[in-house]
Amino acid sequence: MSTIRFLRTFLAVAHHGSFSEAAEQVALTQAAVSFQMRTLEAELGRELFDRSGRLAILNAAGRELLPEIKHLLDLYDRLRRPNTAPGELAGSVAVGSIVSCMGTLSKVISGLKKAHPKLDVRILSGKASELAGKVEDGELDAAFLVEAGRKMASTRWTPLYEEQLVVIAPRSAAGEDARQVLAANPFLRFDRTQRTGLQIDRLLRRMGVPLNEFLELNAIETLVELVRQEVGVTLLPLINGSNWQQIPELRILHLPGDLGPLSRAIGMLERREHARQGITAAICEACAQAFRAREPQTAA
């Protein structure tokens, strides 16, 4: 079984590009990771990395073996799955989620674990781009995140719902429509290092509205709270399950219809071939039902 452990360490090194960062992921010392990789190279009869200082980048042989090693570990994980009755879910899975999906996903997972005592699910929160990378590298079995324009042949995307992009302003804000409100008040921007932030930035550029930018945050709920406190206005997705329309201090304004896509797509990303597809499919279906039940009413 030591070879299986070494192969998992190999995937961590391949993902991070360094022994030290991989060591943190697999809970080993850097020296232990280096020893495992030297042993694996000796067993396979070839060097797998180009080593330069602290870096360890896959060479041609390593890149050639990477998909085979992922496939081998998936086969091994299938062998380890416990025998289950029809309809029973059992085994361990790791699922990622962006913050806005975390509440619903956590409730769904909690319900599934009560119904299926042999099911073990670990949930990880993160940015969409980071979670997508972890799915592609096999660190996560699936992730609930914002759709990206780039599609990987090795992954499968299951769309779940869309969230409309809207302007959110305090009742006291100057302006009658979305353009006027954005131009006349301090603007609170969502983090442009995230997929949603980039989409919002592109949308604002198409609108061509002069902005009085005040701050930029990586926290949607905090931005909404600042708007409620009359700090400024913002442009955000209308989060599934939010109660923003019922907050008397807030105005929710539609964007002009001539700007192209005005929503972000949320779905589940997973590798096309992995050992826990039955579990991720059940999680996805349960989440789809929960998300549909929580869809906000059309903003006024």
| Annotated domain spans of the chain | 4-80, 91-161+264-293, 162-263
What average pLDDT score do residues 277-289 get? 91
pLDDT at 269 over 50: yes
In the chain, count of helices (H) and strands (E)? 10, 11
pLDDT of residue 133: 86
pLDDT at 16 over 80: yes
What average pLDDT score do residues 158-183 get? 94
| Assigned CATH class of 4-80 | mainly alpha
Amino acid (one-letter) located at 20: S
pLDDT of residue 300: 40
The band of 12, judged by pLDDT with boundaries at 50, 70 and 90, is confident
Q: In which residue are the tokens 């039955």 written? A: 278
pLDDT of residue 82: 62
Least confident of 129-143, 199-213, 216-230: 129-143
Least confident of 36-45, 166-175, 268-277: 268-277
What average pLDDT score do residues 120-143 get? 89
The band of 298, judged by pLDDT with boundaries at 50, 70 and 90, is very low
pLDDT at 41 over 60: yes
What average pLDDT score do residues 162-169 get? 95
What average pLDDT score do residues 9-36 get? 88
pLDDT of residue 53: 73
What average pLDDT score do residues 87-96 get? 83
What average pLDDT score do residues 291-295 get? 79
CATH topology of domain 162-263: D-Maltodextrin-Binding Protein; domain 2 (3.40.190)
pLDDT of residue 260: 67
| Assigned CATH class of 91-161+264-293 | alpha beta
What average pLDDT score do residues 127-145 get? 88
Q: What percent of the chain has pLDDT over 90?
A: 55
pLDDT at 211 over 80: yes
pLDDT at 27 over 90: no
DSSP state of 260: S
What average pLDDT score do residues 6-11 get? 90
Least confident of 83-97, 108-122, 136-150: 83-97
pLDDT of residue 51: 87
- 3-state SS, residue 52: strand
Same CATH fold assignment for domains 4-80 and 91-161+264-293: no
pLDDT at 297 over 70: no
pLDDT of residue 271: 85
